[in-house]
Structure formats: structure tokens, C-alpha cells
Amino acid sequence: MPTADAAAPSPPGDAAPPARRAARAGVAEALGAPAVAMAATFLAFGAAVREAGLPIGWALAASWGVYGMPGQLVLVQHAASGGAAGVLPAVLGAVAVNARFLPMAIALAPMFAAPRRARAWSLLGAPFVAITPWAAAMRALPGMAPPGRLPWFLGFGLASWLVAGAAAMAGHAVAGLLDPATRAVLVFANPLYFALLLAADLGRPGTRGAVLAGAAAAPLALVLPAAWGLLAAGVVGGTAAFFLGRRGGRRV
């Protein structure tokens, strides 16, 4: 005789393919606290675009095309100055400040391991590598079955990308209601969320070493020239964290 558990019907969601369930889970995760933090930051960016005298289409194109706030701000400053120095310096500046996405992508790539014929699908995740999706993925993907990792990340990344564009357009529309101080606070909402994620993981040896090394190197950003201070702090802190992790037998 079948048991009550065997006779009970499966929830409707169980009938969906595993990849689709993983993607839906990624979307649901993105539309929580990460969406609030990202929307606040891109709202301020949209207002900054309006203040620079640029149209709403430009705000959307910069948000979705660059998808990295420092690079977006470089482009805004270039456009606001009339582009007198040429397009190349603006592009190089945006590339330089968003170069941090390369090590993020390298850290994520092994989690998307797939058969050779399916590896090309992993490239779909490249446009969505940014601070918020990366931080969420590094927390969620290690405990997930490998086949569901890429769908989860694509769901999370696409949802975050759409939220960013919508918030940028909204910020452009309501720019007159946001004074400069409010915009400055909103811009830092997403970095603050990222910092809180790191604080929540301080109990992990690898994360703890990385945070402490970064904090120790942070004063370099204050004593070196502005063009190099933050970059030097990141290189020194990241290198120290890597070797601390190697010495402790863990990857940071």
C-alpha cells in the first residue's frame, strides 16, 4: 500500500526542469535586498545623468552597457565636459576602473564547469559580472548542484540588470527631487550592501583574511595620489590576502 507521502501530489514547481527552477530561484534572490541596494545606487546615477544635461536614453545605455558604477561615472564626467579630450580617454578610464571585474569572472568561472560542448553557454554570464551578482554568487553557488549554478546566476544577473536600468530611468525622471547630498548617499547604498555581506561572512577564515588585509591596505588610498591610491590599496591588500590564504591552506 502506498504511503501518504507517496500519494501526495508534488508541488507545481517540482514539475519544472531543474535549470528553470534554479533560474527562478536566482530571480527571487535578486529581487530582495540586492534589488533595493542596486536600485538606490542607479537611481542616483540616473539623476546625475539628468544633471549633466544628457537624455534618458543615455542613462539606460550607460547602465546596461557599462554596468559598473565607477565606469558609468567616468563617462558622465566626460560627457558633462563636452568630451573635449576625446572619446578614447573616457573609454580607457571606464575600462581601467572596471578592471576589477576580470578577477571576479576568474573566481566565478570554475563554478560553471560544464562539458566541452556546453562551455560556450557560460559566456552568457559575462555581461552580468558586477559587484552585487558576484557577491551573491560567491555565497550561493558553492552549496548548489553544478547543473543549476549557471541558470541561477543568469536569473540573478538578468533580474539585477533590469532593475538597474529601470532605476536609472526613474532617477532621470525624478532628478529634480533629489538634492546633491541625497544622491551622494544613494550612490553608496550598493557598496554598503556589499560591505554588510562581507561582514556577515567574517566567521569564514578566507573572508576574514581578505577583509583584514583590505582594511590594512586602505590607508594607501589616502596617502597616495588620487589617481593611484585606490588601485594601489586594492593590489596590495588583495596580494596580501592571497598569500595569507595560501599560507593558511585556504584560497581567499
For the record, the C-alpha cell of 36 comes out as 533595493
pTM: 0.77
144: left (phi over 0), alpha (psi -120 to 50) or beta: beta
User: Please, are residues 209 and 252 in contact by the beta-carbon 8 Å criterion?
Assistant: yes
Radius of gyration over every alpha carbon of the chain, rounded to an integer in angstroms? 21
Quote the pLDDT of residue 161: 94
Buried b (16+ CB within 10 A) or exposed e, 95-118: eebbebbeebeeebeebbeeeeee
Q: Kindly report the CA angle at 194 between 189 and 199, in degrees rounded to 5?
A: 120
Q: What sign does the CA torsion over 94, 34, 222, 244 have? A: negative
d(CA 244, CA 249): 9
d(CA 53, CA 69): 18
d(CA 225, CA 134): 29
How does DSSP classify residue 142? G
d(CA 184, CA 80): 18
Domain boundaries, the chain: 16-200, 203-252
d(CA 231, CA 218): 10
d(CA 37, CA 47): 16
d(CA 169, CA 129): 21
Of 36, 37, 31, 57, whose CA–CA distance to 46 is shortest?
57
Amino acid at the residue 237: G
For every residue of 186-231, DSSP letters joined together read HHTHHHHHHHHHHHHTTTSHHHHHHHHHHHHHTTHHHHS-HHHHHH
d(CA 45, CA 187): 7
Output the tens digit of pLDDT for each of the chain's 252 residues: 444 334 444 344 445 578 899 999 999 999 998 999 899 999 999 998 998 888 898 889 889 988 888 888 888 877 777 655 566 777 777 777 778 788 888 888 888 876 665 666 777 888 899 888 988 998 899 889 888 999 999 999 999 999 999 999 999 999 888 888 888 888 878 777 877 777 777 776 667 777 888 888 888 888 888 667 777 888 888 888 888 777 765 444
